[in-house]
Structure 1
Amino acid sequence: MSSQPPLIDSHIHLYPSSALSTLPWCTPTHPLASQHSLPEFLSATASSPAPVSGFVAIESDRATNDASTDWAAPLDEIAWMRRLATGTLLPEEGGPGEGGKLCLGLVPWAPVVLGGEKLGEYLTKAEEVAGEEAWGRVKGFRFLLQERPVGTALGEGFVEGLRVLGKRGFVFEVGVDQHRRGRGQLEEVVEMIDRAHEGVEEGEKVVFVLDHLCKPDLTILNQTDPSFIAWRTAMFTLSKCRKTYMKLSGCFSELPDKLKARPAEDIFAAILPWLAVVVAAFGPSRIMFGSDWPVCTVGAGDDAWKKWHKVVDMVCDLAGLSADDQAMLWGGTAKVAYKLEA
């Protein structure tokens, strides 16, 4: 294994057991239906071959209604993020948590779909709840598109909301799912970016961070499959916009169950075509390491974080990345995209 610089995990989800009832996806029998707070993350990364110098905490998809202004659940998550970032977690949340200094960035939920005015109201409330110290670590917002109706990201209000985020210097975190929703979601993202940037001054254009390779179907065995070709085309199209970044993350969720449990070398070999496309399209200066912990552990075991780290390390080796390029992939790109202070 190559010598590696300190890394930033650009994509983790943390939540206390008290929040489980606010997570619609987290049924009582779900494998993640327990507390996944800072101590659990630190335990999962304790054997990391490179020091973890920080992380970006992404919202955990708490209960919301797109048409409602009842923002109790997401604002409660921001209050939780405040305790996380300021090292004031409650004892029952795994606190107080001096490791909170590792929290370099926060990406909460935001009602982008409601348009600029309502989004502005939410941001005001979010800032009040976060407080000055934690608000300084809020680097962007996410509104998951992967399960939303076709055309959601192209609505006038949504595009207006994206422009508000860009004007205020926030990133928009893009969560789509080509595997289950088809090429239409990728085409929608391409058009969304074009509309959000059209006529906007360069310094006010919103930055887009794409999660999980946009969730391609990693069960495909033939690279001539129309699904793979559509995904590959979209990756090169998306990469043409210099304000788009890609996370090497989330792949375990798209793997066949049997492959998840295999060694990192087998996983790397199976998904190499997708990894190669991402490296070729975006280059190391716009790719960042992300584990998607704890989601990555489902079906892959408690050592999933370390296994994914090894997969990404093999990407670096195969691509022949220089020390400077590797430093970007492991942490530098995240610093640039999210404007992290680390």
Structure 2
Amino acid sequence: MADSLSGAVPVFDSHQHLFPDAEAEPSALPIIDSHIHLYPEAELSSLAWYTAASPLAGQRSVDEFRAATGSPANLQGFIFIEADRKNGEAKDWAAPLQEVSFARRIVAGQPRDGEGHAPADAKLCLAIVPWAPVVLGPAELDRYLTAAEAEAGPAAWAKVKGFRYLLQDKPLGTGLADAFIAGLKLLGRRRFVFDVGVDQHRRGRAQLEEMVDMIDRAHDGVDDEDDKVVFILNHLLKPDLTTISQTDPSFIAWRTAMFTLGKCRQTYMKLSGCFAEMPDSLKAQPAEVIFSALLPWLAVLIAAFGPSRIMFGSDWPVCTVGVGEDAWRKWHKVVDMTCDLAGLSYEDQKMLWAGTARRAYNIED
């Protein structure tokens, strides 16, 4: 995917929809939150980032998630994303498999005392995306998949739709190593997606360029389209939202990557994670102000991917840091305003709020 597009950015305008022929129909559309993290108090020490001083210290449960959302009737469920458990440079699988076991208890409706979920919550967990040692190559990855399947059991394993191995904090070149690419190809053959976690804000343009190259290599030589691994890009690839300028080099690099990645039909984007990339002063503003500040990024996202390859995600509980307990509802409002001002049709909105997640993760209705 050549890094060659740098045309003018479509701009939302209060007098003209991006798609002027569309008819937006306000409705309590079904919602799937495509990106949340859960972890019980008893397993906090297994989290790689955990310290007692962390704003995310303490249990994050289904009960708390339901409270954060207000439990609207149209919230169909969530996708459980791994929370970065310790893994000993991908060679120690005890904590990641412990996380799989935790997800199994949610799906089975069999909580341990104090874990903050109940049997009735089982239906909310629509898909699971555990960690996997993709970096070790296909032989070790296959061995891990066998261990994870045994840990999950049949019911939870049926909900495992993909895997994640964070690249945002790894040395440059990690995602381009032969073993990593071969691991991605194995996931494709096994019909698992790969959730991509990179960080342009803190690591710069090089992570974007590496990811574009990684996707190209993972698909190179794979003749059967169904065997090509599907990539689900997290959090807009974490652009720098502290400098709100369309002429900033980081914005231009991000925009170019978006249009390049948007050409590949095996890529999807999560409309999520933006609060973590904003200055504290913007986080504290009402949803309307945040929406206005994000317009250049939102316009590019809609133009590059379209609603059929964009999915709503909250990144709960990370979204609460510096925002507060109303973060989920504030982000929901930002996304709702995006749909409205872009003039998305009712069917397009159904895709963005839930349909895209179902398609990308192969979740049955």
TM-score of the pair, normalised by structure 1: 0.98
Q: Secondary structure at the match of 2:32?
A: strand
Residues of 1 paired with 2:65 and 2:90: CA distance?
A: 34
Residues of 1 paired with 2:117 and 2:200: CA distance?
A: 38
Q: Is 1:161 the counterpart of 2:183 in the alignment?
A: yes
Which residue in the other structure is 1:259 paired with?
282
CA contact (8 A) 1:159 1:196 kept: yes
Gaps of 5+ in 2: 1-24
Residues of 1 paired with 2:90 and 2:36: CA distance?
A: 27
How big is the shift at 1:74? 0.2
Which residue in the other structure is 2:70 paired with?
46
CA contact (8 A) 1:38 1:97 kept: no
Which residue in the other structure is 1:220 paired with?
243
Q: Secondary structure at the match of 1:224?
A: coil
Q: Is 1:76 the counterpart of 2:120 in the alignment?
A: no
TM-score of the pair, normalised by structure 2: 0.91
Q: List per-residue Cα deviations over 1:78-110 (Å, max 9, x = no partner).
A: 000100111111121124341121100000000
AA of the residue aligned to 2:249 = P
Residues of 2 paired with 1:250 and 1:95: CA distance?
A: 24
Give the one of 306, 310, 327 matched to 1:283.
Answer: 306
Note the 1:300-339 alignment, pairs <5 A: 300-339=323-362
AA of the residue aligned to 2:289 = D
How big is the shift at 1:244? 0.0
How big is the shift at 1:2? 2.7
Which residue in the other structure is 2:234 paired with?
211
- RMSD value, Cα: 1.1
How big is the shift at 1:261? 1.4
Give the one of 8, 30, 36 matched to 1:6.
Answer: 30
Q: Secondary structure at the match of 1:14?
A: coil
Residue 79 to residue 67, structure 1, CA distance change in 2 (3 Å): closer
* Higher helix proportion: 1
Q: Indicate the larger mover: 59-68 or 232-241.
A: 59-68
Residue 122 to residue 133, structure 1, CA distance change in 2 (3 Å): same
Q: List per-residue Cα deviations over 1:124-158 (Å, max 9, x = no partner).
A: 00000000000000000000000000000000000
Note the 1:13-162 alignment, pairs <5 A: 13-46=37-70, 48=72, 51-68=74-91, 70-162=92-184
Q: Secondary structure at the match of 1:296?
A: helix
Q: List per-residue Cα deviations over 1:255-281 (Å, max 9, x = no partner).
A: 101111111001101111111110110
AA of the residue aligned to 1:42 = R
CA contact (8 A) 1:32 1:294 kept: yes
AA of the residue aligned to 1:26 = Y
Note the 1:242-257 alignment, pairs <5 A: 242-257=265-280
Residues of 2 paired with 1:208 and 1:222: CA distance?
A: 28
Q: Secondary structure at the match of 2:50?
A: coil
Residues of 2 paired with 1:134 and 1:12: CA distance?
A: 17
Q: Is 1:170 the counterpart of 2:192 in the alignment?
A: yes
> How many residues align structurally?
340
Q: Indicate the larger mover: 167-176 or 57-66.
A: 57-66
Q: Indicate the larger mover: 238-247 or 84-93.
A: 84-93
Gaps of 5+ in 1: none
Residues of 1 paired with 2:124 and 2:231: CA distance?
A: 23
How big is the shift at 1:23? 1.0
Residues of 2 paired with 1:188 and 1:65: CA distance?
A: 24
CA contact (8 A) 1:47 1:306 kept: no
How big is the shift at 1:42? 0.9
AA of the residue aligned to 2:47 = L
Residues of 2 paired with 1:65 and 1:115: CA distance?
A: 16
Residues of 1 paired with 2:56 and 2:334: CA distance?
A: 23
Note the 1:269-280 alignment, pairs <5 A: 269-280=292-303
Q: Secondary structure at the match of 2:236?
A: helix
AA of the residue aligned to 1:177 = D
AA of the residue aligned to 2:213 = E
Residue 15 to residue 67, structure 1, CA distance change in 2 (3 Å): closer
Residues of 2 paired with 1:158 and 1:219: CA distance?
A: 32
AA of the residue aligned to 1:31 = P
Residues of 2 paired with 1:174 and 1:18: CA distance?
A: 28
Q: Indicate the larger mover: 94-103 or 125-134.
A: 94-103
How big is the shift at 1:4? 3.4
Residues of 2 paired with 1:66 and 1:236: CA distance?
A: 33
